[in-house]
Amino acid sequence: MTISTFSFPTTIHFGSGSSSLVAGHLTSIGVERPLVVTDAGVAATPWFVEWAATINGGTVFSGVTGNPTASQVRAGVDAYAAAGADGVVGIGGGAALDVAKAVALMATHPGELWDYEDEVRDARPITDAVAPLLALPTTAGTGSEVGRSAVIADDTTHVKRIVFSPHLLPRVVFADPELTLGLPPAITAATGMDALTHNVEAYLARGYHPICDGIALEGLRLAHDHLAVAVAEPLDVHARAGMLMSSMMGAIAFQKGLGVVHSTAHALGTLVDLHHGLANAVMIDHALEVNVEAVPERFATMAATVGLVDATPEGFLRWLADLKAEIGIPRSLLDTEIDPAETEHLVNLSFQDTCHLNNPVAVTPADFDAIFARAFA
């Protein structure tokens, strides 16, 4: 696989071996003391140790665990200051990349992280003083490497809050599918379903945005072609590359919006810290049913995109359920540790989440109650 370089909207070096370009790029932009933000799992791998040794003057911060939190960001900012860093390299899954964005922001801006929360009255402005930021994804799921936001959980309430600005977009992305080789099947499946959900919900989201619609459909096709293969054959670099591209396309497309699936997933993440990709994966077919009557033609287009003979909304939902079974995703919440007695709490959290405001049909608490009833069946 050759390395391709393109911009949309950030510069992306895509292909096997692209991670080897990072050291040279840091030198070219004058970053001498980068803080490398990652998680403990990535930091312990032999390839990371070898790669980090090429980053002259770099300091590794590996304090990202689970879903990203404000306390992790504060620890990262402290590490940035202690190292006298002059730039940030985020390498890892969505959690590490989101923390890297927030560290790059708070290392150069005054106040506290939540002072910059999106859509909050009197929020502080985010300027172009954000520290230089490079991103290397090691999973194909969130697409955070091409996103303008950092989703960080409040340590006390566990509610996920969003910091958004075009200035948070990494300057350069090094999308190397070799960094995702050997990722365990369960993580590959959960993160891959996250990417698929982004593409599906972006396409279904209300509003006119044919550019995002086109990107979302191609991202969906790539997920159809490569997700099951990547799960079954962890060392298939072609499948890994396909999912890495699907992930980035989903993240670009969902600037149009998301929907009910993400509202339910965020509720599950808040309640029990369930992995975001897994939450989307479990909920997707149960939650999307609420949209069938509103946009049947869009479901038919998605069904045709993944090559279904039965190009109907029902056919597409069946395909999703079959895909979940094939790649080892729980069929319902009964196959997880979630207690059905928490339904009312989950409904309230889902309705409070803003993602469903872009859903193609307005939803009520009663709709969420029906969604969770299906998910617990």
Range of the domain at 274: 184-375
Average pLDDT over residues 105-119: 95
Tell whether the model's pLDDT for residue 221 goes beyond 90: yes
Nearest to 261 by CA among 325, 201, 342: 201
- What mean pLDDT is reported for the chain? 95
Tell whether the model's pLDDT for residue 293 goes beyond 70: yes
Tell whether 220 and 328 lie within a shared domain: yes
Q: Pick the last residue of a domain from 125, 149, 179.
A: 179
Tell whether 48 and 30 lie within a shared domain: yes
Tell whether 131 and 97 lie within a shared domain: yes
CATH of the domain at 68: 3.40.50.1970
pLDDT tens digits for range 310-367:
999 999 999 999 999 999 999 999 999 899 999 999 999 999 999 999 999 999 999 9
Nearest to 188 by CA among 229, 129, 157, 144: 229
Say how far apart CA 237 and CA 163 lie, in whole Å. Answer: 33
Tell whether the model's pLDDT for residue 370 goes beyond 70: yes
- What is residue 208's predicted lDDT score, i.e. its pLDDT? 96
Tell me the pairing of strands 4-7 and 87-92: unpaired
CATH of the domain at 191: 1.20.1090.10
Tell whether the model's pLDDT for residue 112 goes beyond 70: yes
Total domains in the chain come to: 2
Tell whether 201 and 127 lie within a shared domain: no
Percent of the chain with pLDDT over 70: 100
What pTM does this model have? 0.94
The answer to whether residues 269 and 281 touch, using CB atoms and an 8 Å cutoff, is no
- What is residue 272's predicted lDDT score, i.e. its pLDDT? 87
Count the Cβ atoms, other than its own, within 10 Å of residue 182: 12
| Residue whose token pair is 């599950």 | 268
Tell whether 252 and 296 lie within a shared domain: yes
Tell whether 124 and 243 lie within a shared domain: no
Tell whether 227 and 253 lie within a shared domain: yes
pLDDT band at residue 66 using 50, 70 and 90 as cut-offs: confident
Q: Pick the last residue of a domain from 157, 179, 201.
A: 179
Tell whether 130 and 216 lie within a shared domain: no
pLDDT tens digits for range 16-60:
999 999 999 999 999 999 999 999 999 999 999 999 999 989 999
Q: Pick the last residue of a domain from 179, 199, 227.
A: 179
pLDDT band at residue 1 using 50, 70 and 90 as cut-offs: low
Tell whether 192 and 278 lie within a shared domain: yes
